[in-house]
Amino acid sequence: MSYLKEKILEDGIIYPNNVLKIDSFLNQQIDPTIMKKIADEFYEYYKDKGITKILTIEASGIAPAIILATKLNVSMLFAKKSKPSTLEKEACYHAKVYSYTKRKTSDVLVPKKYLKKDDKVLIIDDFLANGEASLGLVDLAKQAGSNVVGIGICVEKSFQPGRKRLEEAGLDVYSIVRIEKIDYENQKIIFKDGH
Ligand code: 5GP
């Protein structure tokens, strides 16, 4: 069994409504050894794809994305979920993202100057559920005219429609772990093979 499946079984806490909490190593406290293994796996899959930029969304995508960016020797850019006073609205690309866990829509943004039309962008996120966050990031990259090379996900909840929506949009998705089912009543996680 892979390191990430083992860690999820060890530390994961199952909440109602198919929410999995993994805040001992990814969503709040960060385990650098696990982050390094995640980055190594993404690196093996994406190393020859000419990536020039990694794009993620605050906060939990940042840890795996920054370690992968170090390996690929490219910059990592994260979308913010609210506009700081130091950023002009017109100087940013914006996209609406509905958060599955927070049950609210945010206007996510990145400064235009950090995404260019010749960029080959790899999107990284911690979870994939309905695909809202990833599609929002794709939208930001497309506004810049850049090319989205792929979407790298740490934990995909395959019973939710995110992957299908991304693949229907012509995007290549690589998930380190895929979850077939989260059984809240019996507190069980059933994994799905493949990436
Ligand atoms: P989506 O946008 O694909 O619907 O959901 C992915 C986003 O919602 C991720 O950025 C992640 O932060 C959050 N998310 C969705 N499902 C879960 C979950 O089961 N656990 C945690 N911790 N975050 C989740």
The two three-digit tokens of residue 158, written as one number: 């395959």
What is the CA(50)–ligand 1 centre distance, in A?
28
pLDDT in tens, 42-93: 999 999 999 999 999 999 999 999 999 999 999 999 999 999 999 999 999 9
Place of tokens 């909490």: 21
Region 97-107: what's the mean pLDDT? Answer: 90
Four-residue CA torsion sign, 152, 79, 60, 180: negative
* DSSP for 3-69, written as a single string: HHHHHHHHH-EEETTTEEE-TTTTSSS--HHHHHHHHHHHHHHHTTS---EEEEETTTTHHHHHHHH
To test the ligand 1 pocket, which listed residue (100, 164, 177) has its Cβ within 8 A of the most ligand atoms? 100
Indicate the CATH number of 3-192 among 3.40.50.2020, 3.10.620.30, 3.40.50.300, 3.40.50.970.
3.40.50.2020
C-alpha–C-alpha distance, residues 147 and 137, integer Å: 12
Domain ranges of the chain: 3-192
Ligand 1 pocket member 128 (CB < 6 A): yes
**pLDDT class for 101, splitting at 50, 70, 90?**
confident
Region 134-154: what's the mean pLDDT? Answer: 98
Amino acid at 180: E
- Write down the pLDDT at residue 100: 76
Secondary structure (3-state) at 142: helix
